[in-house]
């Protein structure tokens, strides 16, 4: 399995409109059929020094393999999301995990 986790920091976290727009953009990705499973969330209330809770949205996707992830990366729905939403974030942090 291939797990693609993306953390987003809003450029204007004070803007409810921007937050709603990024949320809507993230939700649009659910329709990409190359994805096995997708979760969209926010930072949980847990607070410890080793926890980074500063992001605004988390997008976590599983794919059957890296090839399926590669299909997602160039899928028109994903490219449209990046094009329409990239002005909304100031930082993106990704972790791609390969499991047995």
Q: Judged by CB under 8 A, does residue 16 bind its own copies?
A: no
* Span interacting with its own copies, options 12-20, 28-36, 49-57, 77-85, rule CB under 8 A: 49-57
Residue 23 CB-density burial (10 A; 0-12 exposed, 13-18 middle, 19+ buried): middle
Which one among 16, 17, 48, 76 touches its own copies, defined by CB under 8 A?
48
Work out how close the CB of 84 gets to its own copies at its nearest, in angstroms, rounded to a whole number: 18
The rounded distance, in Å, linking the Cα atoms of 40 and 16 is: 17
46 binds its own copies (CB under 8 A): yes
| Contact call for residue 74 and its own copies (CB under 8 A) | no
């Amino acid at each position: 399995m291939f797990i693609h986790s993306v953390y987003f920091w809003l450029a204007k976290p004070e803007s409810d409109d921007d937050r709603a727009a990024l949320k809507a953009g993230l939700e649009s990705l659910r329709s990409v059929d190359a994805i096995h499973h997708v979760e969209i969330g926010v930072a949980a209330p847990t607070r410890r020094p080793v926890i980074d809770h500063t992001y605004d949205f988390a997008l976590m996707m599983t794919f059957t393999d890296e090839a399926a992830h590669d299909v997602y990366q160039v899928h028109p729905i994903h490219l449209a999301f990046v094009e329409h939403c990239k002005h909304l974030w100031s930082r993106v942090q990704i972790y791609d995990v390969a499991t047995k």
